[in-house]
Amino acid sequence: MDIVTTPQLIAGNWKMNGLLAARGEIAALAAGLKGRARLPEVLVCPPATLLHGFSGAVAGTPIKLGGQTCHTAAAGAHTGDVSAEMLKDAGASYVIVGHSERRTDHNEANALVAAQARAAWRAGLSAIICIGESEAQRSAGQMEKTLADQIAYSVPSETTVANAAVAYEPIWAIGTGKTASLDDIEGAHAFIRARLEASLGPAGRSVRLLYGGSVKPSNAKEILSTRGVDGVLVGGASLKAADFLAIVDGARVAV
């Protein structure tokens, strides 16, 4: 039987940054990836306003686009919200759900995050489901309980490698320049993997597990080489094509 390995996923989260002129960064990213025979999966999640404008720039390139959140409904009276169907219509194939900035700024709790993942699937998108503990939870010895609860209540039972990835993003490492140590990442990923297997069965063995938190060109390769890391979710360092390309270069690719 052939062994099928899923490529590492290098995902960029632009957060609330970028205007249409940033198409130049996408074009530079596409130019940098051109002609490379072996690549990880490369995903850029710009603000929803830019998805349609970027869709032309990524056509014919390996770059995929994703949204940063979605409403649980397909349409309706939800002023200011964006549905998964709208993201798909604008050119997305992924959506991030449960990012800590959404959990904090918009009070998005575990059950809502699970419903957002299911909304993504209804629309034909893959979901990147984010989990991670705060500094306070970590220092109070609550890290494993926090992660276990997030897995139990925000990662739906239908999660598979084909429809989702889980991103471990310790909140204290996001946008702070404080990257988790490789030992911390390996340990947290092993814990999360065990919980995913316990709750999802065989699907929990293959679903990709990303690390996020101050990933940059200088640390990407060692993080991407760490046991149990199937990709990275990158914030600040995904905004510039040169930095993001250097991170892509750190990925493990099949030979």
- Minimum distance from residue 212 beta carbon to ligand PEP (Å): 4
Q: Is 175 in the site for ligand PEP (CB under 6 A)?
A: yes
The question of whether 189 is a catalytic residue gets the answer no
Q: Is 231 in the site for ligand PEP (CB under 6 A)?
A: no
Pick one of 233, 239, 241, 247: the residue that binds ligand PEP (CB under 6 A).
233
- Minimum distance from residue 45 beta carbon to ligand PEP (Å): 9
- Minimum distance from residue 215 beta carbon to ligand PEP (Å): 5
Binders of ligand PEP among residues 6 to 65 (CB under 6 A) are 13, 15
The question of whether 135 is a catalytic residue gets the answer no
Pick one of 25, 169, 230, 243: the residue that binds ligand PEP (CB under 6 A).
169
Stretch that binds ligand PEP, among 16-24, 56-64, 118-126, 235-243 (CB under 6 A): 235-243
Q: How far is CA 20 from CA 23, 51, 150, 231, in A?
A: 6, 10, 35, 27
Q: For 211, phi and psi rounded to 5 degrees? A: -105, 140
Q: Check if the beta carbon of residue 50 is closer than 8 Å to that of residue 20.
A: yes
The closest of 104, 6, 9, 96 to 51, measured between CA atoms, is: 96
Question: Angle CA(35)–CA(40)–CA(46) in degrees, nearest 5?
Answer: 95
Q: How many residues does the chain have?
A: 255
Pick one of 87, 90, 215, 239: the residue that binds ligand PEP (CB under 6 A).
215
Alpha-carbon distance 54 to 5, whole Å?
29
Q: Is 235 in the site for ligand PEP (CB under 6 A)?
A: yes
Instruction: Return the beta strands (E) in the chain as ranges.
Output: 9-13, 41-45, 63-67, 94-97, 126-131, 164-168, 208-212, 231-234
Stretch that binds ligand PEP, among 36-44, 48-56, 154-162, 213-221 (CB under 6 A): 213-221
Residue number, 147 or 203, with CB nearest to ligand PEP:
147
Q: Are strands 94-97 and 164-168 parallel, antiparallel or unpaired?
A: unpaired
Q: Check if the beta carbon of residue 237 is closer than 8 Å to that of residue 215.
A: yes
Pick one of 18, 67, 213, 250: the residue that binds ligand PEP (CB under 6 A).
213
Alpha-carbon distance 156 to 170, whole Å?
21
113 to 152: interface string for ligand PEP, x by CB under 6 A: ----------------------------------------
Record the tokens describing residue 221, joined without a space: 């390769």
Catalytic residue among 71, 108, 169, 189: 169
Q: Is 188 in the site for ligand PEP (CB under 6 A)?
A: no
Active site amino acids: 99, 169
Residues that bind ligand PEP (CB under 6 A): 13, 15, 169, 174-175, 212-215, 233-237
